[in-house]
């Protein structure tokens, strides 16, 4: 990477220094100076490149704190059923996809959601067999915790009918799902995998994402997948990739294996439970639409052992936990680990919890006490919240209204990191910021500025760095340039103050993300001073 010096001028620089900055100098992959247009003249002759922003907004690049890059790339280039409006529509798309890809060993698709279809029924195996002409097919549900598959794919997994989560003619969950997913993804060639990863990284860069947390693990992907992704991101102009590997750690040898893969933590999707849409999130009380409480994959004792071992090894731990019983198990387990190795050491490790949807006042307080980071996905609420959404169908309206309480987490001092869980929801940081600010349950809404910070600086803090995700001298030169409308400052409570464009407030403005407003358009993304995306001129 070259150490070029670049001057950006005649724009709007989003910096904590205030509202008057219009120019920025980067050098050696870092921010060197931020200031006014008049002062920028003094740098003009000593830089390698000058960029005329023409009034554009410059912000820190976003960090997506939860991504599955290969699956994202396959969804972008393959069969995406997220827009299918009915079962018949989904089956039609499967038929067309199968006809268009006669050479694929296994057909892959993602994103179906029967809860949004008339009748609410997923495809049967017989229907999928007919749509594919008898070929192997793997169709992950939108939450990626269950999948509809064809008979030919089942035939590739000996003993599949004996695995937990197997159903004779319905979507598979638990171990059965993990086994067919491994078989399906194992049929992908190394070239296909690399192309999927490259597609995902380029798409992320085009959205102003400068870093992403890859949440891999033995039940999700493969060691080769993670190692290959990290190598690709290091070799090509790309967003940074911070890898997590969701393997349980019991000693220093296990921790060393995680590090050898290039991962920065034994975290991410280390499953304590499943997902609400698939009926596998672990609850204290039964589902409203089923006579069970979901699935527990880890106990509080399991959590304690993993956290204690990771803390002793100086490694970040973390878990996937969605249901209230699962989140309780995490809090109890981390608290038990703190009793073994010391609360200060546990807090310093910044262990993290992915999703953390069903929180109570007690578990929110536990997160704050134990220094846990909540890695959350606001678009979940946009898709599935509300009085008639999937949450209400699964849990009943009263329990559904308690989900994703971002304001309560912020009030308690719990660090937030925002992400997408792509391909569960699409990469799209401004959409996530808007979803957090306009949560379907008003008492859970947070200020745009807080959500923006959680999607920029929050992702870096979740990975253990406090010097990134913000534009100040000395910070990494990771930034995005945006075409947008007026910048505004939104007060935390609209009963106190409305939108304001008054620069005397001294608070840096952000784009107006109100419902129906057009989201900002990314013109350029820069990582460590190196351009990784440049939108072609229209």
Q: Which two tokens stand for residue 213?
A: 């947390």
Bridge-based pairing state of the strands 147-149 and 137-141: antiparallel
Closest CA to 346 of 372, 368, 320: 372
Output the CA torsion sign for 368, 369, 373, 377.
Answer: negative
Closest CA to 388 of 378, 370, 400: 400
Distance, in Å, from the CA atom of 297 to the CA atom of 337, rounded to the nearest integer, reads 18
Residues 6+ apart with CB under 8 A from 327: 321, 353, 356, 358, 359, 360, 363
pLDDT of residue 495: 37
pLDDT of residue 187: 85
Beta bridge partners of 148: 139
Report DSSP state, residue 84: -
Task: Kindly tell me the burial class for residue 55, based on how many C-beta atoms sit within 10 Å of its own C-beta (0-12, 13-18, 19 or more).
Answer: exposed
pLDDT of residue 3: 66
Distance, in Å, from the CA atom of 446 to the CA atom of 436, rounded to the nearest integer, reads 6
pLDDT digits (tens, 9 = 90+) for 468-519: 999 999 999 999 999 998 898 765 444 333 334 444 445 778 999 999 999 9
Closest CA to 475 of 12, 11, 24: 24
Residues 6+ apart with CB under 8 A from 88: none
- Kindly calculate the radius of gyration of the chain based on its CA atoms and give it in whole angstroms: 23
pLDDT of residue 1: 44
**What count of other Cβ atoms lies within 10 Å of the Cβ of residue 355?**
29
Beta bridge partners of 476: 30
**Start-to-end Cα distance in the chain:** 29
Tens digit of each residue's pLDDT, the chain (538 residues): 456 899 999 999 999 977 789 999 999 999 999 999 989 999 988 899 999 999 999 999 999 999 999 999 988 988 989 889 999 999 999 999 999 989 888 899 988 999 889 999 999 999 999 999 999 999 999 888 889 999 999 999 999 999 999 998 889 998 999 899 889 888 888 888 999 999 999 999 999 999 999 999 998 889 999 999 999 999 999 999 999 999 999 999 999 999 999 999 999 999 999 999 989 999 999 999 999 999 999 999 999 999 999 999 999 999 999 999 999 999 999 999 999 999 999 999 999 999 999 999 999 999 999 999 999 999 999 999 999 999 999 999 999 999 999 999 999 999 999 999 999 999 999 999 999 999 999 999 999 999 999 999 999 999 999 999 999 999 999 999 999 988 987 654 443 333 344 444 457 789 999 999 999 999 999 999 999 999 998 7
Contact 331/363 with Cβ under 8 angstroms? yes
Number of H helices, E strands in the chain: 20, 23
Output the CA torsion sign for 2, 8, 13, 17.
Answer: positive
Distance, in Å, from the CA atom of 425 to the CA atom of 372, rounded to the nearest integer, reads 24
What does the DSSP assignment read for 199-268?
HHHHHHHHTTEEEEEEEE-TTTS-HHHHHHHHHHHHHSS--EEEEEE-----SHHHHHHHHHTT-SEE-S
Preceding amide of 474 cis, omega within 30: no
For residue 147, give the 3-state DSSP assignment. Answer: strand
pLDDT of residue 504: 44
Contact 412/192 with Cβ under 8 angstroms? no
Closest CA to 290 of 298, 280, 299: 280
What does the DSSP assignment read for 71-115?
HHHHHHHSEE-TT--SHHHHHHHHHHHHHH-TT-SSEEEEEE-GG
Contact 59/185 with Cβ under 8 angstroms? no
Distance, in Å, from the CA atom of 9 to the CA atom of 474, rounded to the nearest integer, reads 19
Q: Which two tokens stand for residue 537?
A: 């001129």
């Amino acid at each position: 990477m070259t150490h070029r010096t670049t001057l950006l001028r005649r724009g709007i620089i989003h910096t904590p220094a205030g509202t008057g900055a219009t120019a920025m100098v980067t050098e050696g992959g870092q921010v060197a100076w931020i200031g006014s247009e008049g002062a920028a003249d003094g740098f003009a002759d000593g830089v390698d490149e000058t960029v005329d922003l023409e009034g554009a907004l410059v912000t820190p690049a976003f960090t997506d704190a939860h991504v599955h890059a290969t699956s994202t790339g396959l969804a972008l280039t393959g069969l995406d059923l997220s827009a299918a409006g009915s079962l018949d529509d989904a089956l039609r798309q499967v038929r067309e996809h199968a006809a268009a890809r006669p050479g694929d060993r296994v057909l892959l698709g993602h994103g179906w959601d029967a809860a949004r279809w008339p009748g609410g029924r997923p495809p049967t195996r017989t229907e999928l067999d007919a749509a594919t002409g008898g070929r192997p097919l793997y169709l992950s549900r939108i939450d990626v915790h269950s999948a509809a598959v064809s008979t030919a794919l089942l035939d590739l997994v000996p003993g599949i009918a004996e695995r937990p989560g197997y159903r004779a003619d319905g979507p598979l969950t638990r171990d059965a799902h993990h086994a067919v997913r491994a078989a399906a993804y194992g049929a992908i060639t190394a070239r296909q995998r690399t192309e999927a990863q490259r597609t995902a990284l380029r798409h992320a860069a085009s959205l102003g994402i400068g870093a992403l947390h890859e949440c891999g693990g033995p039940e999700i992907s493969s060691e080769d997948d993670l190692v290959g992704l990290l190598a690709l991101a290091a070799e090509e102009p790309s967003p940074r990739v911070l890898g997590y590997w969701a393997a349980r750690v019991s000693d220093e040898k296990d921790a060393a294996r995680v590090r050898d893969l290039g991962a920065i933590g034994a975290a991410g999707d280390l499953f304590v439970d499943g997902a609400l849409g698939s009926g596998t999130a672990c609850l204290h009380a039964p589902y409203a639409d089923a006579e069970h409480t979901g699935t527990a994959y880890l106990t509080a004792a399991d959590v304690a052992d993993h956290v204690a071992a990771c803390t002793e090894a100086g490694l970040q731990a973390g878990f996937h936990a969605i249901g209230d019983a699962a989140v309780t198990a995490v809090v109890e387990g981390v608290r038990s680990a703190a009793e073994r190795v010391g609360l200060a050491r546990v807090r310093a490790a910044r262990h993290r919890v992915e999703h953390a949807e069903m929180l109570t006042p007690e578990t929110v307080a536990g997160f704050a006490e134990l220094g846990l980071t909540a890695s959350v996905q606001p678009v979940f609420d946009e898709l599935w919240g509300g009085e008639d959404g999937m949450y209400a169908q699964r849990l009943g309206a009263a329990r559904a209204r308690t989900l994703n309480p971002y304001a309560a987490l912020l009030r308690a001092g719990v660090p937030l990191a925002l992400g997408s869980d792509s391909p569960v929801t699409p990469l799209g940081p401004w959409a996530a910021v808007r979803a957090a600010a306009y949560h379907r349950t008003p008492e859970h809404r947070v200020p745009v500025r807080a959500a923006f910070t959680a999607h920029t600086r929050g992702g870096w803090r979740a990975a253990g760095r406090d010097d990134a995700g913000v534009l100040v001298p000395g910070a990494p030169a990771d930034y995005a340039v945006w075409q947008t409308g007026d910048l505004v400052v939104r007060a935390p409570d609209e009963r106190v103050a409305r939108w304001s464009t008054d620069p005397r407030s001294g608070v840096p403005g952000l784009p107006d993300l109100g419902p129906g407003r057009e989201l900002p358009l990314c013109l350029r993304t820069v990582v460590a001073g190196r351009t990784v995306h440049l939108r072609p001129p229209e």
